[in-house]
Chain A
Amino acid sequence: MEHSFVLPNSGHTYDAKASKLGMWLFLYTELLLFGGLFIVYMVYRSLNPDAFLMASLNLNVWMGTVNTVVLLTSSMTVAMSITAIQLGNSKLSLKLLLITVFAAVVFLVIKYFEWGAKIEHGLWPGMEHFGSLSHGEQLYFYLYFFMTGLHGLHVIVGMIFIVVVMNKIKKGSINKDKNQLLENSGLYWHLVDLIWIYLFPLFYLIH
Chain B
Amino acid sequence: MTDSSVSQPNFFEVKKGLFSWIFSLDHKRIGLLYLYSVGSFFLVGAALGVLMRLELFNPGADLIEAKTYNQVFTLHGVIMIFLFIIPSIPAVFGNFFLPIMLGTDDVAFPRLNLLSWWLYVLGALFALSTLVFGDGPADTGWTFYAPYSVKTGTNVSMSVLAAFILGFSSILTGLNFIVTIHRLRAPGMGFNQMPLFAWALYATSWIQLLATPIIGITLLMIVAERMLGIGLFDPSIGGDPILYQHLFWIYSHPAVYIMALPAMGIVSEIIPTFAQRTIFGYKAIAYSSLAIAFVGYFVWGHHMFTSGMSGPAAYIFSILTFFVAIPTSIKVFNWLATMYKGSINVQVPLLYAVAFIFNFLIGGLTGLVVGALAADVHLHDTYFVVGHFHYVMFGGTGFAFFGALHYWYPKIWGKMYNKLIANIAFAILFIGFNTLYFPMLILGIKGMPRRYYDYLPEFHTLNQISTVGSWILIIGLLLMIFNLFKGYFSKQKAPANPWNGITLEWQTQSPPTLYNFDKAPELVEGGPYNYPNAMKG
Instruction: Take A29-B171, A32-B214 as given contacts and tell me if A12 and B232 are in contact as well, using a CB distance cutoff of 8 Å.
Output: no
Does the CB pair A25–B178 fall under 8 Å?
yes
Most chain A Cβ neighbours within 10 Å, of B104, B230, B237: B230
Contacts of A125 in B (CB 8 A): 228-231
Looking at the assembled complex, report how far the CB atom of B169 sits from the nearest CB atom of chain A, in whole angstroms: 13
Does the CB pair A146–B221 fall under 8 Å?
yes
- Considering the complex, give the chain A residue whose CB is closest to the CB of B250: A36
CB proximity to B under 8 Å, residues A1-44: 1, 3, 5-12, 15, 17-18, 21-22, 25-26, 28-30, 32-37, 39-40, 43-44
Q: Does B218 contact A (CB under 8 A)?
A: yes
B interface residue count range (under 10 / 10 to 19 / 20 to 34 / 35 or more): 35 or more
Q: Does B105 contact A (CB under 8 A)?
A: yes
Q: Does B212 contact A (CB under 8 A)?
A: yes
- In the bound complex, what is the Cα–Cα distance between A35 and B246 (angstroms)? 13
Number of interface residues of A (CB under 8 A): 43
- Considering the complex, give the chain B residue whose CB is closest to the CB of A38: B217
CB proximity to A under 8 Å, residues B150-187: 171, 175-176, 178-180, 182-187
Contacts of B171 in A (CB 8 A): 29
Does the CB pair A1–B9 fall under 8 Å?
yes
A-binding segment of B347-355, B361-369, B389-397, B513-521: B513-521
Q: Does A72 contact B (CB under 8 A)?
A: no
Contacts of A18 in B (CB 8 A): 108-109, 179, 182-184
- In the bound complex, what is the Cα–Cα distance between A142 and B517 (angstroms)? 55
- In the bound complex, what is the Cα–Cα distance between A10 and B105 (angstroms)? 6
- In the bound complex, what is the Cα–Cα distance between A43 and B237 (angstroms)? 14
- In the bound complex, what is the Cα–Cα distance between A5 and B519 (angstroms)? 7
Does the CB pair A3–B514 fall under 8 Å?
yes
- Considering the complex, give the chain A residue whose CB is closest to the CB of B233: A40
Does the CB pair B109–A39 fall under 8 Å?
no
Q: Does B103 contact A (CB under 8 A)?
A: yes
Does the CB pair B110–A11 fall under 8 Å?
yes
Could you jot down 27 A-B contacts, CB within 8 Å?
A: A1-B14, A5-B519, A6-B515, A8-B520, A9-B104, A9-B186, A11-B107, A12-B105, A15-B183, A18-B184, A21-B183, A25-B209, A28-B210, A29-B171, A29-B210, A29-B212, A29-B213, A30-B213, A34-B217, A36-B213, A37-B217, A39-B243, A43-B240, A138-B231, A138-B237, A146-B230, A146-B232
Chain A residues close to B by CB (< 8 Å): 1, 3, 5-12, 15, 17-18, 21-22, 25-26, 28-30, 32-37, 39-40, 43-44, 47-48, 125-126, 135-136, 138-139, 142-143, 145-146, 150
Given A10-B105, A11-B27, A37-B217: 6 more A-B contacts, CB < 8 Å: A1-B9, A7-B103, A12-B106, A25-B175, A39-B247, A44-B238
